[in-house]
Structure 1
C-alpha cells in the first residue's frame, strides 16, 4: 500500500519521495497502528495524515488548536484538488451544522475541528455516527500538562476515541516533545511506546545565533534594514514591548505589523492576513501569534526577549524556513529577560511542583543563552537526542571574533559593587563609577567610596552596557523584584583576586540573508497575482523553494514543470502555462540584453 501512497504524494503534492520518517508513520497508519510522530516544524507532519486520509475509505478527523491553521490547511488541500473542510467558531451555527451533515454523507476526506468541539455532546454524537477511519491530533504536546502549551480541552480526546464502535487509527503529531512529554502522550492515548516515531529534531537549514552584550534596538534595526525584502517574525515577551518596537520600526519606514492579545480581533486578523499574503514583511508579536501558522517562506525569526523554555523557543524559532531554505533564528539576550520570566512564573496559578519544573526549564534556557558549545547540539541534547559536537553553521560554530582583555575594567565594576555592599542597582553603580554629582550619590555619601569616578573617562551609557555584559556573562547577578540590586557571583571572586581574566568579544554585525535573482522576483509577482485572484496566501500557490527551482531549471514543457518539487498534476493544469510563459519571456529579454552587450 505504500506504493499507492507514493502515487498520491506525486499526484496531489508534487513530491517524488517522502521525507525522513514520513513513510514509516504512513505505513503504520495504513496498517491501523496508532502512532506518535515527533518531527521538527517543517518536517512534513501534515502529510503523515493527509496521505492516509486519501487512501482510507472514510473521513479523517483532524483535531487542531488554531482557526488560522485549519483555514490554511483546507485552502492548500483544495488547491491540490482534495475535498476538505473545517468546523470552528468562525462559522455560524447553521454553517457548522451544514458542513457536519455533508461530512456525515462522505463529502469530505478531511474535516478539521478545534478541540473545544469535543466538549459539545451533540457534536460528539454526530461524530459517533460518521465513518471515521483516522483521527489525527496536531500539536499533540497540548494534551500533556508537562508540555509547554497545555490545553485542557485536549483531555477530551481519549473519551472520544473510546466512543467509536469501530475504533479509527490514531496519529498524534508534534514538533516539540521531550521524553517526559512523549511518555505522557502515549499513556493518555493508550499508545505503546513502540509506536513512537522520532525523526530527529535537527533543522539543518536553520542558523541559530545568540546576541549578548549589544544594544538590541540597534542590532534589530540594522538586521531588518539589511533584510527588508525578506519576510520574518520578531517575538517580544510583552504587549508593551511589541507596541514599542512596532512604533519604532514603523517610524523607520519598515513594512511592519503587530499582533498580541491586547488588540481587537479585527486588528489581529488584519495583521495576520497582511503578513501571510506578503503585504507586510515583518510581524512583531507576542507568543500569541504563530502556532499553526503555515507560512512556508518565513526567512527569519528574531526573539527580542528570551522565552521561558527551550520547547517554546524551538517551536517559535522553527516557524522560520518551513520550505527548507536557509533561515536565521536569532535570540537577543538581556539579563533582565531572566527577571521577567521569573516574574511570569511567580505570578502564575501553577502549583509548586509545576513552578519548580518551570524554573528548571528556565535554567536550561538561560544555559542556551550562555553556552559556547554548538547551539543546535545544545537544543538536540535537551530533547534527548544524541548530537554531534558542531553543526558548522550556528553562531557559536562560526564565531571568529577576536577577544579583548577587559579584566581591569571588570575589576573596577566588581569592586564598586562590593564597596556599595551589593545594595544598589545598575543605575547607581554606573553613576558612582562615572563620578556623577547626583543628589542621591551625595546624600548617601557614595562619593566618598574609593571607586567613585574611577571610570569617569567613559560615558555612563558605555559603563551601563559593560555592566550588562558582566551580568550576561554571569560575573554579576541581579537580585530582588521590581528594583533589582547588583551582587557578585561566585565567578567574580577569582577575577577580583586576579586569578581569572575577563575577555570581551567584538560586536556581531547584522548580515544579509541572501540575494535572489531577477527571475525569482518575476515568478513571485506571477504567484502574487494568482494568490490575489484566489484569495489565498502566495505560499499556497507555490513555495519559495519551488520558485527558486523554477528559476534555476527553467522548465519549458509540462514534463519539465512536473519535475519541479511541489508541482502536482492539479497545479500543473492550473498554473503551469502562466509560469512557463513568464520564464520564457524573461529569458528572451535576458538573451537580447546579453546580445547587445
Structure 2
C-alpha cells in the first residue's frame, strides 16, 4: 500500500515525497487504524486523510467546521481530478440530493460535511446506506481542537461526534488539529473516544515565519503602517481586538493606499462573505479582522499576520500567526502590544461570567503570552516551550535573535513604582502614577494632594515612555494587577512584597527606541529577492496569468497553482510538458489542464 500511496501522491498531487510523518499516518489509516494528528498549519494535514480516502474502499467523510473552507478544499481537489463534494446550507435541495445519490452510487472519494449537518437524522441515515453499499472509507475530524471546552474555537456539536465511533466502530477515524497543548490533546482523545488511537505529534516549529514583537506607542497606527511598508502588494491579515478597532484600522489603511477590507461578526453576513471571497481570490488584499476571521483560512500565500492588540493566549496567537506562510515561503508574524492591552484583557477575564476555574486558566494563558512578549530569549524557543517542545534557541529568524535586546537592573525603579502605587491608594492607573513619579503637577495630581507624597518626582530621570515600559513589565511579572472594580486601577499583588523589601531583584527588557518615520507611500511589491531578473519577469507573468484564470473560473488563485510552484517554474523555465510535469505541485490533471498555457506564458516572456 505504501507504493500505491506514493504513486498517488506523485501523479495526483504532484509532490515527489512525503513530509515528516505523513507516510506513517497514511499507512495507519489505510490499514484501518485510528489516528490523532497534531501538525502545524501548512504541514500537510489534508493529505493525511485525502490519500487514505482515495486508497480505501468507499468515500471518506470529512467533518469540517466552516463552509468557506470546505468549498475551497473541494474546488482544489476538483483541480486535481479528485471526485469530491460537500453538503452544506449553501446548496439547494436538488443539488444536495444529487450529491447524496453520487455518494450512494460510489461516485465520490471525499465528502465534506459540517458537524451540525452530519448529526442530523437524515445525514446519519445517508451514511448508514452508503456504509451498506459502496462503503465509507474513513471519518476525518478536521480542526479537532473545537471539541475542547478550554479551547479558543469550542464548537458544541463536536462533543457529539462520538456517535461516529458508537454507530460505525469498524470505520477508521482520524482527528487533526494544528493547535493543542498537552491538556487539550488529552481532552480531544477523551471526548472523541480516541484514547487507543495512535498519536502523531509533529514539530510545531514554523521556521519560515519571522516572529517580531513591538511595544505599542499610542494607538499603534504609525507602527502598523511602518510594518506594512515592507509588505506592499502582499496578502496579509491584521488582527484587532474589537469590531470598532477593526473598522477604524481598515479605514486608516485604505486612506494610506492599502487594499484593506474589514471583517467581524457584527457585519452583514453577505458583506463578510464577499470580503472573505475577495481575500481568498485576489492577490494583495489585507484583511483587518477580529478572530471571527480565522479557522479554515486555507490561503497559502499570506505573507504576514499582524496583531495590533494582544491576543488572549499562546494557542490563539500560534494558530493566528500560523495562517502566514503556509506555502513554506518566508512570512512574518508581527505583534504590537502595550500596557493598556494587558489591563483590558485582565479586566475582561475577571469581569466575565465564566467559572473561577475557567478564569484562572485564562489568566494563566494570558500570563504565558505576556512572558513570551517580554522574553529576551529566542521567540521560537519561548513559543514552542508552551507546547512542550524543546528548541535550542538562536533560531536566526526572530527579533530577539537578529537584534538581541538589552536588559537592565530595574530593582530600584520597580520599588519606586510599586511604592508610588501604594502611596496613591492603589486607586489609579498608570498615567496618574507616572505623573506623580515624574513630578508632573496635573490638576488631578494636585486635587488629590499627590504632589505632597514622598514619591513625588522620585522618577523624573525616566520619561513617560520608559515608565510605561516599567509598568507593563511589572504587570507581566505579576507584581501589579488591574482592579476591575476601579476601572483598571493598579494594586499590588502578594509578590510585590519581596521586591519592596529589597529581597528580590528584577531585570527589565530595554525597549527599542522609536523608529524614524521611513515608510514609503508608493510602490509595488518587489520581485522575490532570490530570483534573477529574467526569472522574476517569468514569475510576474505567471502570476498574472493565474489571476486571470482564477477570475474566469471564480476560484481562489492558489487552487490553480501555489506561488511556490510558479516560482519553481520561473526558475527552471521548462521547455516542454515532460519537463513541466517534473516540477513539484504539478500532477497529471493540472499538467493536462494548464500545461500548454503555462508554456505559452514562458515563451511569450522569452520573446519579450
Would you call these one fold, judging by a TM-score over 0.5?
yes
1:417 Cα offset (Å)? 4.1
Answer whether contact 2:38 2:201 (CA < 8 A) is retained: yes
- After the TM superposition, which of the residue ranges 321-330 and 378-387 deviates more from structure 2? 378-387
Instruction: Render the CA deviation track for 1:461-508: whole Å, top value 9, x for unaligned.
Output: x61x33321122227734212622245675797699797676624237
Q: Give 1:573's match in structure 2, choosing from 567, 579, 592.
A: 592
Q: Give 2:146's match in structure 1, choosing from 138, 142, 149.
A: 142
Q: Distance in 2 between matches of 1:284 and 1:272?
A: 11
Instruction: Render the CA deviation track for 1:143-184: whole Å, top value 9, x for unaligned.
Output: 2323332211012211133223x7211111111122222222
* 1:183 equivalenced with 2:186 (yes/no): yes
1:381 Cα offset (Å)? 2.0
Answer whether contact 1:406 1:504 (CA < 8 A) is retained: no
3-state SS of 2:53 partner: helix
Residue 120 of structure 2: aligned partner: 120
3-state SS of 1:191 partner: coil
Instruction: Render the CA deviation track for 1:225-251: whole Å, top value 9, x for unaligned.
Output: 221211110111211211221122222
Q: Distance in 2 between matches of 1:502 and 1:39?
A: 35
Q: Distance in 1 between matches of 2:343 and 2:417?
A: 21
Residue 594 of structure 1: aligned partner: none
Q: Give 1:174's match in structure 2, choosing from 162, 177, 186.
A: 177
1:189 Cα offset (Å)? 3.1
Q: Give 2:199's match in structure 1, choosing from 174, 196, 204.
A: 196
Residue 246 of structure 2: aligned partner: 242
Residue 328 of structure 1: aligned partner: 332
In structure 1, stretches of 5+ residues that fail to align are: 590-597
3-state SS of 2:399 partner: coil
Distance 1:499 1:106, change over 3 A: closer
1:419 Cα offset (Å)? 4.4
Q: Distance in 1 between matches of 2:410 and 2:186?
A: 48
Instruction: Render the CA deviation track for 1:412-465: whole Å, top value 9, x for unaligned.
Output: 76665454344322232344456555433333233444665677899xxx61x3
Q: Distance in 1 between matches of 2:97 and 2:277?
A: 27
Q: Distance in 1 between matches of 2:166 and 2:527?
A: 54
* 1:506 equivalenced with 2:501 (yes/no): no
Residue 59 of structure 1: aligned partner: 59
1:51 Cα offset (Å)? 0.8
Q: Give 2:555's match in structure 1, choosing from 527, 533, 536.
A: 536
Q: Distance in 1 between matches of 2:413 and 2:128?
A: 72
Instruction: Render the CA deviation track for 1:497-538: whole Å, top value 9, x for unaligned.
Output: 797676624237699997423332222111101101111111
Residue 4 of structure 1: aligned partner: 4
Distance 1:440 1:212, change over 3 A: closer
Residue 354 of structure 1: aligned partner: 358
Q: Distance in 1 between matches of 2:505 and 2:557?
A: 59
Q: Give 2:568's match in structure 1, choosing from 533, 545, 549.
A: 549
1:541 Cα offset (Å)? 0.8
1:7 Cα offset (Å)? 1.0
> What is the TM-score of this pair, normalised by structure 1?
0.90
- Aligned residue runs from structure 1 range 146-545, under 5 A: 146-164=150-168, 167-193=170-196, 195-212=198-215, 214-215=217-218, 216-278=220-282, 281-400=285-404, 416-417=420-421, 419-432=423-436, 436=440, 438-449=442-453, 463=464, 465-474=465-474, 477-481=480-484, 483-487=487-491, 504-507=510-513, 515-516=527-528, 517-545=536-564
Q: Distance in 1 between matches of 2:406 and 2:194?
A: 52
Residue 592 of structure 1: aligned partner: none
1:196 Cα offset (Å)? 0.6
Q: Distance in 1 between matches of 2:418 and 2:216?
A: 17
- After the TM superposition, which of the residue ranges 364-373 and 506-515 deviates more from structure 2? 506-515
Distance 1:24 1:117, change over 3 A: same
Instruction: Render the CA deviation track for 1:113-148: whole Å, top value 9, x for unaligned.
Output: 000113311221111111211111101111232333
Q: Distance in 2 between matches of 1:334 and 1:70?
A: 37
3-state SS of 2:151 partner: coil
Q: Distance in 2 between matches of 1:493 and 1:195?
A: 48
3-state SS of 1:125 partner: helix
Distance 1:453 1:493, change over 3 A: same
Answer whether contact 2:243 2:264 (CA < 8 A) is retained: yes
Distance 1:511 1:396, change over 3 A: farther
1:191 Cα offset (Å)? 2.9
3-state SS of 2:402 partner: coil
Q: Distance in 2 between matches of 1:248 and 1:409?
A: 37
3-state SS of 2:139 partner: strand
Aligned residues: 584
> What is the TM-score of this pair, normalised by structure 2?
0.88
Q: Distance in 2 between matches of 1:309 and 1:3?
A: 42
- After the TM superposition, which of the residue ranges 244-253 and 494-503 deviates more from structure 2? 494-503
- Aligned residue runs from structure 1 range 83-122, under 5 A: 83-122=83-122
Q: Distance in 2 between matches of 1:360 and 1:455?
A: 31
Answer whether contact 1:75 1:540 (CA < 8 A) is retained: yes
Answer whether contact 2:234 2:284 (CA < 8 A) is retained: no
Instruction: Render the CA deviation track for 1:163-216: whole Å, top value 9, x for unaligned.
Output: 23x721111111112222222222333334561111221111111122225452
Instruction: Render the CA deviation track for 1:82-106: whole Å, top value 9, x for unaligned.
Output: 1111111222344323322222222
Q: Distance in 2 between matches of 1:113 and 1:159?
A: 15
3-state SS of 2:200 partner: strand
Q: Distance in 1 between matches of 2:325 and 2:42?
A: 7
Q: Distance in 2 between matches of 1:402 and 1:171?
A: 46
* 1:564 equivalenced with 2:568 (yes/no): no
Q: CA RMSD in A?
A: 2.9
- After the TM superposition, which of the residue ranges 435-444 and 385-394 deviates more from structure 2? 435-444
- After the TM superposition, which of the residue ranges 380-389 and 324-333 deviates more from structure 2? 380-389
Answer whether contact 1:495 1:502 (CA < 8 A) is retained: no
